[in-house]
Structure 1
Amino acid sequence: MTFRLRAAQIGDLEHLYEMAKLTGGGFTNLPADRAALTRKLERAEEAFARTENTLGDDVFTLVLENSENGQVRGTCQLFTQVGQQWPFYSYRLTTLTQHSQELDRTVRAELLSLVTDLEGSSEVGGLFLHPGERAGGLGLLLARSRYLFIAMHRARFADRILAELRGVIDDRGGSPFWDGVAGRFFGMTFQEADYFNAINGNQFIADLMPKHPVYIAMLNGEARKVIGVPHPSGRAAMRMLENENFAYEGYVDIFDGGPTMTTRTDSVKSIAEAAEKTLSATDLDDGERALVATGKLGEFRSAYGMRHIGDDGTIAIDAECAEALGVAKGDSVWSVAR
């Protein structure tokens, strides 16, 4: 069974909707709302069709497809420049140090400060893999194919890139962080606020969120202990991001307190190591395991395969990968070692 990643199309709506119902909340980029998903697919269609090879305000949506039966079993997204339609808010952990000479005491208070530091960055997000397919490295294919897409369309992405990881969600579907911080000001449950954000954007945060720093010591214990902690299902994703040279630098999500990972775009390992080469053969029997991609914008496709890079700088891949990508000898492909 061969899977490939390809550009999403309007016809993928029902596939995405069915997967959105499986997310369990806290997944803003994949709301279980047909109208919102339709707008997302239409925006992706516009992004794939834009001819200017420049940085814009685009959202690219990709889907993971079983190339044998056409079933869509996963999705991911790339945002070329966040914070363009409305502010991109984060909390940043900071420390305030104060000293009293009379008491001869120094006090260091940890604060959560509402910031828009990350505006203008690119973002990789919206990654979801169907629970029935969480084996065989398909999550890695979804995640790393995004970096191949960036490498192949580098001029369309910013010099800084981020990834937001979902924070801790309790058994009832609520967020201890939301309940301890923002929920006190909004009169909304986490699920209500998260859904509203997914459908309408987060301008209501700008309208209602207190702009003064929040002293962490004043939060309840449940809220404090989840700050910057990923959801248990996101720990593997955090390790993958760290392997790609992303780092947690004290930025957390304003809704669930999950960590935001950042790095320079050209420092991402899979982007730095990606290379374009001409196909010399498509019948390789043995070689190095790799991610292989081809096609510009809406023609983008990627899949796992085997590769061998020749002394002349050309590349050979296996027949199964070539069939999944629809490529032949003489075509150009990008690849990175798995």
Structure 2
Amino acid sequence: MTFALRAARTDDLEPIYEMAKLTGGGFTNLPPDRDALSAKLDRAAKAFARTDDTLGDDQFVLVLENTATGEVRGTCQLFTQVGQQWPFYSYRLTTLTQHSQELNRTVRAELLSLVTDLEGCSEVGGLFLHPGERAGGLGLLLARSRYLFIAMHRLRFADRVLAELRGIIDERGGSPFWDGVAGRFFGMSFQEADYFNAINGNQFIADLMPKHPVYIAMLDDDARSVIGLPHPSGRAAMKMLENEGFAYEGYVDIFDGGPTMTARTDQVKSVTEARAHQIERCDLEYGERAIIAAGRLDSFRSAYGMREVTPEGTLAVDETAARALRVGPGDEVWSVAR
């Protein structure tokens, strides 16, 4: 069984919608709403069709396909520059230090400050793998193929990239962080606010959210305890991001308090180590395991395979990968060690 990641098409709407219904909430980039998902696919089609290699306000949607059956079993997204249609809000953890000479006491207060520091960054997000396929490293293929896509289209992406991880969601589908912070001002449940944001954007946050910093000590224990923590299902994703060179620098999601990871784009491991080679042959039987990608924009495809760099600087790949990528001798591919 072979899987390949490819550019999403408008006729992928139904399988993406079915996966969106399985997320359990908190996935702003993958709302279970046909109209919103259709708008994403339309926007992605325009991004794939844009011919000039410049930084714009693009969104790319990729899907994981079983090459034997044609079934779509996963998806991920890339945003070239966030905060262009509406502000990109985050909370940032900061510390205020105050000292009293009379009491000879120093007090350090932790604050949550509403910021738009990350505006203009690229973003990798919207990653979801069907529960029936969570084996065989397919999550890693989805995640790291995004960086190959960035390396292959580098001029279309910013110099800094972020990834938001879903925060802690309780058994009722609510968010302790939302209930303890923003929910007090909006009169909306987390599920209502998260869904509204996914469909309409977060301008309502700018309209109603208090602009003054929030003292963490004044929050209840439930809200304080989840700040900057990923959902249990996202711990592996956080580890993968750290392995790529992403770091948590105190930015958290304004809805669920989950961590936002950031990195310099050219220092992301899979971007830095990606290499382009021309294929010499497609009959390799033993070689280094790798993620291999081919094509540009809407012809982009990536898959697991084996590679071997020849003394001439060309590449030998295995037949299965070549078939999944639809490439042959003379074609150019990009690859990174698995």
**RMSD in angstroms over aligned alpha carbons?**
0.3
- What letter is aligned with 2:40? K
Residue in structure 2 matched with residue 121 of structure 1 by the alignment: 121
Deviation of residue 163 (structure 1)?
0.2
Distance in 2 (CA, whole Å) between partners of 1:253 and 1:315 is 43
Distance in 1 (CA, whole Å) between partners of 2:152 and 2:85 is 26
Distance in 2 (CA, whole Å) between partners of 1:85 and 1:21 is 26
Residue in structure 1 matched with residue 305 of structure 2 by the alignment: 305
Distance in 2 (CA, whole Å) between partners of 1:51 and 1:270 is 25
Deviation of residue 310 (structure 1)?
1.1
Distance in 1 (CA, whole Å) between partners of 2:207 and 2:316 is 56
Distance in 1 (CA, whole Å) between partners of 2:310 and 2:243 is 27
Residue in structure 2 matched with residue 162 of structure 1 by the alignment: 162
Residue in structure 2 matched with residue 231 of structure 1 by the alignment: 231
Partner deviation per Cα, 1:168-212 (whole Å, 9 max, x = no partner): 000000000000000000000000000000000000000000000
Distance in 2 (CA, whole Å) between partners of 1:63 and 1:182 is 34
Partner deviation per Cα, 1:221-258 (whole Å, 9 max, x = no partner): 00001000000000000000000000000000000000
Q: How does 1:1-150 map to 2 (within 5 A)?
A: 1-150=1-150
Secondary structure of 2:52's counterpart equals coil
Secondary structure of 2:126's counterpart equals strand
Residue in structure 1 matched with residue 264 of structure 2 by the alignment: 264
- What letter is aligned with 1:140? L
**Structure 1 runs not aligned, ≥5 long:** none
Distance in 2 (CA, whole Å) between partners of 1:70 and 1:203 is 38
Partner deviation per Cα, 1:261-289 (whole Å, 9 max, x = no partner): 00100000000000000001101000000
Deviation of residue 60 (structure 1)?
0.2
Secondary structure of 1:162's counterpart equals strand
Secondary structure of 1:69's counterpart equals coil
Residue in structure 1 matched with residue 289 of structure 2 by the alignment: 289
- What letter is aligned with 1:227? I
Q: How does 1:193-204 map to 2 (within 5 A)?
A: 193-204=193-204
Deviation of residue 217 (structure 1)?
0.1
Distance in 1 (CA, whole Å) between partners of 2:67 and 2:127 is 19
| Count of residues in Structure 1 that have an aligned counterpart in Structure 2 | 338
- What letter is aligned with 2:168? V
Secondary structure of 1:211's counterpart equals coil
Secondary structure of 2:114's counterpart equals strand
Report the TM-score when normalising by structure 2: 1.00
Residue in structure 1 matched with residue 274 of structure 2 by the alignment: 274
Residue in structure 2 matched with residue 205 of structure 1 by the alignment: 205
**Structure 2 runs not aligned, ≥5 long:** none
- What letter is aligned with 1:15? P
- What letter is aligned with 2:291? L
Secondary structure of 1:266's counterpart equals helix
Distance in 2 (CA, whole Å) between partners of 1:209 and 1:318 is 55
- What letter is aligned with 1:240? M
Report the TM-score when normalising by structure 1: 1.00
Secondary structure of 2:286's counterpart equals coil
Secondary structure of 1:170's counterpart equals coil
Distance in 1 (CA, whole Å) between partners of 2:163 and 2:37 is 20
Secondary structure of 1:124's counterpart equals strand
Distance in 2 (CA, whole Å) between partners of 1:236 and 1:32 is 24
Secondary structure of 2:74's counterpart equals strand
Distance in 2 (CA, whole Å) between partners of 1:109 and 1:19 is 42
Secondary structure of 1:144's counterpart equals helix
Residue in structure 2 matched with residue 324 of structure 1 by the alignment: 324
Deviation of residue 326 (structure 1)?
0.3
Deviation of residue 311 (structure 1)?
1.5
Distance in 1 (CA, whole Å) between partners of 2:310 and 2:126 is 36
Moved >6 Å (runs of 4+)? none
Distance in 2 (CA, whole Å) between partners of 1:309 and 1:145 is 20
Secondary structure of 1:143's counterpart equals helix
Matched, 1:248 2:248: yes
Distance in 2 (CA, whole Å) between partners of 1:187 and 1:236 is 33
Deviation of residue 312 (structure 1)?
1.1
Distance in 1 (CA, whole Å) between partners of 2:316 and 2:225 is 50
Distance in 1 (CA, whole Å) between partners of 2:194 and 2:309 is 47
Residue in structure 2 matched with residue 190 of structure 1 by the alignment: 190
